[in-house]
Amino acid sequence: MTASAFPSRQELEDWDRQHVWHPFTPMQEYAQERPLIIERAEGAMLYDLDGNAYIDGVSSMWCNVHGHCVPELDQAIHDQLGKVAHSTLLGIGNVPSIRLARKLAEIAPEGLTRVFFSDSGATAVEVALKMAFQFWQQTTPAKPQKTRFAALQGAYHGDTLGDVSVGDIGRFHNRFKPLLFETFRVPSPNCYRCPMGLQPTSCLLECVQELERLIEREAEQLAAVVIEPGVQGAAGMIPLPANYLRRLRDATHRHDVLLIADEVAVGFGRTGTMFACQHESVVPDFLCVAKGLSGGYLPMAATLTHDRIFQAFLGDALSGTTFFHGHTFTGNPLGAAVSLASIDRLLEGGVLAGLAERVQLLQRWAERLRDLPIVGNVRQLGLLMGVELVQNRETKTPFPAERRLGHHICRKLREQGVLIRPLRDVLVVMPPLGIDVSLLDRLCEFVYHAISTTP
Ligand code: PLP
């Protein structure tokens, strides 16, 4: 394309409005505003068409790990481009995806040695749901009645119909109810708004007891429990209480129910360990990863499982035991190459080791934010934080939905050069793990100031 053929800013804005249908975006409102269009990035900064700079405060939708335009990651893609950009995994292999599967098997909780690639968080979870379902029909002895799933209130596992069936965010999911399968639902372990009406001081993890009872009662028909280890992300960054995941794992083991760990949002260092399951030494039956797998560079996802599951799918071509699921770009060599470079940087490059300093800084800001009059609760784990805004701290009364406070504060921040996205009135701060300490400090200061100056 010649320089003169390159569209002007105005053309880009017009074409964006005319043609691009943005996800999770009320398009009527979108069309009325001047769109923000990102043109380039560097480190934890994004730049728009006018050259205005923005701190990438939510890691470009929770996926960026090292920042943007990282030389080693760029180089990994460049090197792979010189070999092959894409070739299929259906029935044949490619070098980067083999190396990546090996690497994932090395760093994942022990025994998760079988790696099925896909291309988004949603597909990583969908694959686990389908594998769990099919496993029970084909294992010996088969238990074909085990077809149901259990998940938490407020769960979010992606937007395919299977994921929406196990999900539970009313405004995202209710619309599709007629198309969905029924899921057993248990209370969210939301300690700030305890669904069991308890106080943290008197709590005996009644929420996990309820989950344990459900697993015992329904084991005959339960294929698997699906959970977001670490935090329930889209529910509002709700951390699982200590010991919750361990007790869930023990209960699923006792009753031969599978455990699907959806680490799409928290895998690859976000909570301080490579995987959130590792905080409680839990080995799930399925580990679903995406977002941070490729450092947030390319659409890349994986569902890891162990040999007991894999063995049940063996059989010749006519046996019908094959896992009939796949995507054209499964195991894409560019995505696999950049994923390998990203994992290397996390481990050998010291990003994971250097996280403690950033986490401590975020903790200090969490303490300060807790004192603000409209902050009801601050939930921080590793390098992620959710700041829940309330109208009344005593009664925990939320602001009226029509006020759209979270949205307005994020808009104000955007004008000041900070990009974060709210989950209703929970402000999410989730910058790249490799963000400079001074920039993280500035990001938090902006958020603090925006909240403290909100009338
Ligand atoms: N699972 C969890 C826990 C998520 O947070 C998300 C996305 O935010 C997904 C699954 C879906 O991932 P994707 O948007 O890549 O499909």
Question: Does ligand 1 come within 6 angstroms of the Cβ of 156?
Answer: yes
Instruction: Please classify residue 444 by burial: count the beta carbons closer than 10 Å to its beta carbon, then call 0-12 exposed, 13-18 middle and 19+ buried.
Output: buried
Residue type at position 153: Q
Measured in angstroms, how far is the CA atom of residue 265 from the centroid of ligand 1? 6
pLDDT at 239: 97
Sheet with 418-419, strands from edge to edge, namely: 38-42, 45-48, 53-56, 418-419
The model's pTM = 0.97
Q: Check pocket membership of 234 for ligand 1, CB cut-off 6 A.
A: yes
Domain total of the chain:
2
Q: Are residues 140 and 268 in the same domain?
A: yes
Same domain, 325 and 357: no
Identify whether 264 is part of a domain. Answer: yes
Within a domain: residue 1? no
Domain containing residue 221: CATH number = 3.40.640.10
Distance between CA 31 and CA 337 in Å, rounded?
Answer: 38
Radius of gyration of the chain (CA): 22
Question: What 3-state class would DSSP assign to 31?
Answer: helix
Kindly state whether residues 49 and 115 are assigned to the same domain.
no
Question: Are 133 and 202 members of one domain?
Answer: yes
Does 128 sit in the ligand 1 pocket, CB within 6 Å?
no
Same-domain status, 88 and 165: yes
Pocket test for ligand 1, best of 264, 287, 288, 298 (most atoms within 8 A of CB): 264
Residues 6+ apart with CB under 8 A from 350: none
* Residue 70 maps to a domain: no
Mark whether 241 and 294 lie in a shared domain. Answer: yes
DSSP state of 112: -
Of 190, 198, 193, the closest CA to residue 228 belongs to 190
Q: Which of 63, 119, 129, 156 should be mutated for ligand 1, with most atoms under 8 A from CB?
A: 156
Per-residue pLDDT tens, the chain, 455 aa: give them: 455 578 999 999 999 999 999 999 999 999 999 999 999 999 999 999 999 999 999 999 999 999 999 999 999 999 999 999 999 999 999 999 999 999 999 999 999 999 999 999 999 999 999 999 999 999 999 999 999 999 999 999 999 999 999 999 998 889 999 999 999 999 999 999 999 899 878 888 999 999 999 999 999 999 999 999 999 999 999 999 999 999 999 999 999 999 999 999 999 999 999 999 999 999 999 999 999 999 999 999 999 999 999 999 999 999 999 999 999 999 999 999 999 999 999 999 999 999 999 999 999 999 999 999 999 999 999 999 999 999 999 999 999 999 999 999 999 999 999 999 999 999 999 999 999 999 999 999 999 999 999 98
pLDDT at 1: 47
Examine residue 22 and state whether it is found in any structural domain, yes or no: no
Residue 122 CA, closest ligand 1 atom number: 16
Give the pLDDT of residue 425: 97
Q: Check pocket membership of 122 for ligand 1, CB cut-off 6 A.
A: yes
282 in the same domain as 335: yes
Q: What is the pLDDT of residue 204?
A: 85
List residues forming the annotated binding site for substrate. 156, 291, 326, 421
Same domain assignment for residues 116 and 163 = yes
Do residue 300 and residue 385 come from a single domain?
no
Residue 423 C-alpha to ligand 1 middle, in angstroms? Answer: 14
- Write the DSSP assignment of 406-422 as a string of letters: HHHHHHHHHHTTEE--E
Q: What is the CATH number of the domain that holds 423?
A: 3.90.1150.10
| DSSP-derived 3-state class of residue 448 | helix
For residue 232, give the ligand 1 atom closest to its CA.
3
Range of the domain at 361: 36-65+352-452
From the CA of 454, how far away is ligand 1's center (Å)? 31
Q: Are residues 317 and 240 in the same domain?
A: yes
Q: Cα dist. 287→108, 255, 258, 302, 407 in Å?
A: 8, 20, 11, 8, 33
- Main-chain phi, psi angles of 126, to 5 degrees: -55, -40
**264 CA to middle of ligand 1, Å?**
6
Does residue 111 sit in the same domain as residue 232?
yes
Q: Is 21 among the domain residues?
A: no
Last residue of a domain, one of 323, 347, 371: 347
Backbone torsions φ then ψ of 66, nearest 5 degrees: -105, 0
Note whether 140 and 82 are same-domain residues: yes
